[in-house]
Amino acid sequence: MGAHHDAGLVVAALNMAAVTRGGDVAGVIFHSDRGSEYTSAEFARACARWKVRQSMGRVGSCFDNAVAEARPPSPPSRSSTSTAGSSARAPRRV
């Protein structure tokens, strides 16, 4: 998609995500750090065009991202090589 992590790259990623979802992204909250690519006027225009709300953590606070990045653990799954009646399970991925 791009050789450098810059405003053009994150705008392209936002556009691809929006198009993949059929353009129905109005009201979505995009949480990021305060990197220059996310604070650029180019990215702000792209968010406004898609009606995506920008959210950024406070300067120097890693805890702002904790809720946005948290997700429940995946449920355990059975190994594809297990046999019927076997109690062996695949390791749980978290």
pLDDT digits (tens, 9 = 90+) for 28-48: 999 998 899 999 999 999 999
> For the chain, which domains are there?
7-69 (3.30.420.10)
Q: What is the CA radius of gyration of the chain?
A: 19
What the block records as the tokens of 74 is: 């995946």
Q: How far is Cα 18 from Cα 49, in angstroms, rounded to an integer?
A: 11
CA distance readout (Å), 55 to 3, 39, 91? 25, 10, 35
Mean pLDDT of 59-69: 68
pTM recorded for the entire structure: 0.63
Residues 90 and 78: their CA atoms lie apart, in Å, by 5
Count other C-beta atoms under 10 Å from residue 92's C-beta.
10
